[in-house]
Structure 1
Amino acid sequence: MDQTPEGQIRSQDRSGVRTDPESGQILSQDRSGVRTDHMAQKEKLQCLKDFHKDTLKPSPGKSPGTRPEDEAEGKPPQREKWASKLDFLLSVAGGFVGLGNVWRFPYLCYKNGGGAFLIPYFIFLFGGGLPVFFLEVALGQFTSEGGITCWEKLCPIFTGIGYASIVIVSLLNIYYIVILAWGLYYLLQCLQRELPWARCRHSWNTPNCVEDTIRKNKTLWLSANVTNFTSPVTEFWERNVLSLSSGIDEVGELKWDLALCLLAVWVICFFCIWKGVKSTGKVREWDRGREGGREGGRDCLLLGCLNSGTSFVSGFAIFSVLGFMAQEQGVAIADVAESGPGLAFIAYPKAVTMMPLPTFWAILFFIMLLLLGLDSQFVEVEGQITSLVDLYPSLLRKGYRREIFIAVICVISYLGCFVFSLVKYKPLTYNKVYEYPDWSIGIGWCLALSSMICIPMVVVVKIIQSDGSLIERIKAVAAPVKGASSRPKECVLKNSELLHPLDPNGTYALTKHAHTVVETTM
């Protein structure tokens, strides 16, 4: 009710229509009355959001990003966001810190001069590694897209870089997880009363197997004229775990115990990534305008230092053990220092047999090995899945399709491991003796070129699909796509608010320090 200047009292009903109380004549009508149906629809969606946020929980297997309000409006499911910066940092650190920090960096540092190796290491770290890593993080933050669609938006002619990276990651996912299967197999073997690689009384041992306690008695084994002896650790690795054949032409039988370990690791990987970056809880997206760039640089520097620091700590631990082994066996460190799986599955298992409570230390070591490899595997598989899902978001982000797609990728990678082993496998300790046939070398080159060929091939395809002359086509596919940035339009300053007086067109427009919080329940 309100009082008019003439003293008449007017009333307003809930629909927004104002009438004269005496004559009943309609005096005015609010715009809200015209859009009653639209407001009702918005209220319905808001109620649905509140109900979903407060009471509903995702059903098992529900694809992340699938919200009722999106389904009601017919929109494709939204992309997941990190819950906090700490989640992002820990995930990237998990991908950074892997098995190479334990078995590759210490060995390379030792073989290339020790402290002198750190000079070129830091030059390439700060001159190449960190800038490229910052570029990758900046591209992801700017476009909020995967590895393929990111280049499709920024520079379509270089979309082949995204496809090449996916090919590399796909091949990496196939063979990297085999190392985790070996680690799981060793971990299960540690549950016995005695470590199986500590003695020479098993079915896989040969007459040349000599235990370390006997080897220390040089008079005994010299009198026995033992010239080609092997350790029980080496025979356990080569004859029991790998079952090495005479050459690549001899495939051998399928080892079901390792196949089951590989399947178990793939199942663990699937259930750890099937819900995406977050399974439950509120997901918040912070948009800090210009501050995001400075924070991104600090994050990259922090993660790079974390990766290098982990390598240094691993080097101290690894070579303290190798020095102990060399002292116990009376040999030089070069005779016990190895790189790659030889360090993880031969040198270190041999070292734990010389320690008190060997089973306890072996369990801890292989648990560490599994954790280091699994988090790296999660990041690689998640990156592969995200890039492929971003190509068809409306198709693969609905319902259970994303989970089914992840399961298909895991199954294909699991089965592809056996095919990949036929063309890529080589004896780890006899590669300087055995010569590969020419056909296997050709297959290896095909695998190496499978990723590099993507870049020029996509360049040619993009140019052919464009219109105009050759120069016009190259300019068209080399320019960013409109709307490449994922930043909301309201965060960009208007011309009247520009802090740069020489930029009236907004080419170098600065952004507001906005703090946008988007909350959903996955």
Structure 2
Amino acid sequence: MERRKHNRNQWAKKAEYFLSVAGGIVGLGNVWRFPYLCYKNGGGVFLVPYLFFLMTCGVPLFLLETALGQCISKSGIICWEDVCPFFGGIGYANEIVSFYSSISYIIILAWAFFYLFHSLSQELPWAICSNTWNTASCKEFNKTKLFTNWTKVDNATSPALEFWDRRVLNISRGIDKLGSVNWEMALCLLLAWIICYFCIWKGVKSAGKVVYFTVSFIYIMLIILLVRGLTLPGAKDGIIYYLYPEPSRLADPQVWMEAGTQIFFSYTLCLGVLTALSSCNKYSNDCYRDCVYLCLLNSGTSFLAGFTVFSTLGFMAYEQGVPIDEVAESGPGLIFIVYPHAISMMPVPQLWTFCLFIMVILLGLDTQFLGVENIMIAAKDMFPHYFQKEGRLQAFLLVFSIFGFLVGLPMVAEGGIYIFQLIDYYACSGTCLLFIASFQCICIGWVYGADRFYDNMEDMIGYRPGPFIKYCWTFFTPVICIGTFIFSLVDYTPLKYNNTYEYPEWGYALGWLISLSSIIPMPLWMLFKLLRAKGTLCEVSGRETCSNDQESVPLTLPI
């Protein structure tokens, strides 16, 4: 692998790169997914499978992607073709998953903006039952329990649930009843895209400046909410519930599966984002040290967020006299139903709700604009001569933003939540990422050679990392990823919205097509290369395998 010498925008300061990656990997999954998984899967013992997957998959893949981008100074598509043209499809698979993530993730930002604006109301609309959209079954928290899981129990529903279902989503009966667009939500979606555009319209130069504010403010808000949560009655019970160990859960394969999925979900692996961002580093940057610090920061934030969430849920359970497992929730249900309802019980709820959704928006924005920046960098690297002209990249970003907004409009319609969950479940799931990760490890660990890649890293950072990472690339990570991928297919459960609504057959077929579109570029690319190569399959394979060639040059096909 040769060091590339060419003009490329670089981060003005090391801190800009570090904060950008931190903002990209520290996202909503740290707040709404990890704490719930920890409580659901045995409390403190969940950290055992979590740390196992972190050490054998998370850190090795994180380092692989960042070192690759820094060494070649190109985005994922070009990087993988340079390393081995036979595996060039990996880069395209990365970008497709990143695209799906970008058009769906921003919907969460639109919801968050909608809640933020309503938090400025004199009386929070999700705390009362006197709104025009409320039904006769709506009961305020001091008159009944809060029933979560987005369902009705004993013919009673919470105002927070009705605000979500009937005001935010205005949900229809199914995906085949798309209905009309909620234009208030559409305006919030437009606002999210406008902010995203101006955050990255100058590339890393503008994105690097934005993260100073966004990342810092995220941690300020998280600490404020944590301190407030810890001072509430019932907080101690919530934290005990969060961490109480159940060692017997370690025998459940599903616990290990969810731990592995969480690592891929929260570390932005196999999306090409890490490769694209590190491609703007100086060649001599110590990417190994960055990897260790960023992984510690990300997992530490997840753990800290658990205290913030469960201290508040403990207070909520205390106020209503119900067990914590009746208020614990994951995903959008936590951020947009349970947490706002819990905050509405506090003094000055408008202030704490405003802090919550400012934090949610900043968490989402960092991840969103870096995902879009990844696509912009890939486009610029694929067509360097076209984008050399001033203003063309900004124009392409504008077109992409408009396209993303238009594609997102169906997801803010009455049946939009069904489309959103379909994309999230099938395109951005751990299953697709596990398949891509397996190819990445095989390419670097076996085809290019882990020792050769270590030589490249030594040339960059001046030393060789410990051998454990190398063994992970070669053996542990691909075996674990392939095994977990197979288990996820065997244990496959069709998507259900709210655990009740079953999609029509064409909906599941569409979901699988979306999923296949994320991973099919890799085998298709290999087939394309084999068909174009001259000679028999054995001869072509022989020319591709450079195991005896120890020179640090790209592995290439004579095509």
Residue of structure 2 in register with 1:322 after alignment:
313
Relative to structure 1, the CA distance from residue 380 to residue 122 in structure 2 (aligned partners, 3 Å threshold; closer, same or farther) is same
Structure 2 counterpart of 1:143, from 72, 78, 82: 72
Relative to structure 1, the CA distance from residue 133 to residue 285 in structure 2 (aligned partners, 3 Å threshold; closer, same or farther) is closer
Structure 2 counterpart of 1:394, from 363, 381, 385: 385
Any conservation in 1 of the 2:86–2:525 contact (CA below 8 Å)? yes
Q: Tell me by how many angstroms 1:84 deviates.
A: 2.0
Relative to structure 1, the CA distance from residue 123 to residue 447 in structure 2 (aligned partners, 3 Å threshold; closer, same or farther) is same
366-375 vs 391-400, greater mean Cα deviation: 391-400
1:400-411 aligned at under 5 Å gives the runs: 400-411=391-402
Any idea what SS the aligned residue of 1:215 has? coil
1:407-422 aligned at under 5 Å gives the runs: 407-419=398-410, 421=416
The yes-or-no answer on 1:156 pairing with 2:147 is no
The yes-or-no answer on 1:238 pairing with 2:229 is no
Any idea what SS the aligned residue of 1:208 has? coil
Relative to structure 1, the CA distance from residue 330 to residue 390 in structure 2 (aligned partners, 3 Å threshold; closer, same or farther) is same
Residue type of the partner of 1:424?
Answer: I
Any idea what SS the aligned residue of 2:142 has? helix
Residue of structure 2 in register with 1:333 after alignment:
324
Structure 1 counterpart of 2:196, from 269, 277, 295: 269
Relative to structure 1, the CA distance from residue 190 to residue 77 in structure 2 (aligned partners, 3 Å threshold; closer, same or farther) is farther
Residue of structure 1 in register with 2:122 after alignment:
193
424-433 vs 401-410, greater mean Cα deviation: 424-433
Q: Find the aligned partners of 1:233 and 1:280 in 2 and give their Cα distance.
A: 35
Structure 2 counterpart of 1:362, from 353, 359, 362: 353
Residue of structure 1 in register with 2:303 after alignment:
312
Structure 1 counterpart of 2:375, from 378, 384, 405: 384
Q: Tell me by how many angstroms 1:476 deviates.
A: 5.0
Residue of structure 1 in register with 2:62 after alignment:
133
- Structure 1 unmatched ranges of 5 or more: 1-75, 218-225, 481-504, 510-522
Q: Tell me by how many angstroms 1:338 deviates.
A: 0.2
Any idea what SS the aligned residue of 1:460 has? helix
Aligned pairs, how many? Answer: 396
Relative to structure 1, the CA distance from residue 145 to residue 430 in structure 2 (aligned partners, 3 Å threshold; closer, same or farther) is closer
- Structure 2 unmatched ranges of 5 or more: 147-152, 210-279, 423-494, 554-559
Any conservation in 2 of the 1:248–1:425 contact (CA below 8 Å)? no
Residue of structure 2 in register with 1:458 after alignment:
525
Q: Tell me by how many angstroms 1:205 deviates.
A: 0.1
Q: Find the aligned partners of 2:386 and 2:39 in 1 and give their Cα distance.
A: 51
Any conservation in 2 of the 1:154–1:479 contact (CA below 8 Å)? no
- RMSD of aligned alpha carbons: 2.7
Any idea what SS the aligned residue of 2:498 has? coil
Residue of structure 1 in register with 2:98 after alignment:
169
232-241 vs 247-256, greater mean Cα deviation: 247-256
Relative to structure 1, the CA distance from residue 286 to residue 148 in structure 2 (aligned partners, 3 Å threshold; closer, same or farther) is closer
Q: Deviations over 1:389-412 (max 9, x none)?
A: 211111123211100111111111
Any idea what SS the aligned residue of 1:375 has? helix
Q: TM-score, normalised by structure 1?
A: 0.72
Q: Find the aligned partners of 2:502 and 2:281 in 1 and give their Cα distance.
A: 55
Residue of structure 2 in register with 1:60 after alignment:
none
The yes-or-no answer on 1:444 pairing with 2:511 is yes
Structure 1 counterpart of 2:184, from 253, 257, 277: 257
Q: Find the aligned partners of 1:464 and 1:115 in 2 and give their Cα distance.
A: 52
Residue type of the partner of 2:61?
Answer: V
Q: Find the aligned partners of 1:477 and 1:140 in 2 and give their Cα distance.
A: 22
369-378 vs 389-398, greater mean Cα deviation: 389-398
Q: Find the aligned partners of 1:162 and 1:281 in 2 and give their Cα distance.
A: 24
Q: Find the aligned partners of 1:287 and 1:142 in 2 and give their Cα distance.
A: 6
Any conservation in 2 of the 1:210–1:229 contact (CA below 8 Å)? yes
Q: Deviations over 1:162-207 (max 9, x none)?
A: 1011110000111100000000010011111111111111110000
Q: Which structure carries more helix by proportion?
A: 2
Relative to structure 1, the CA distance from residue 216 to residue 137 in structure 2 (aligned partners, 3 Å threshold; closer, same or farther) is closer
1:12-161 aligned at under 5 Å gives the runs: 78-161=7-90
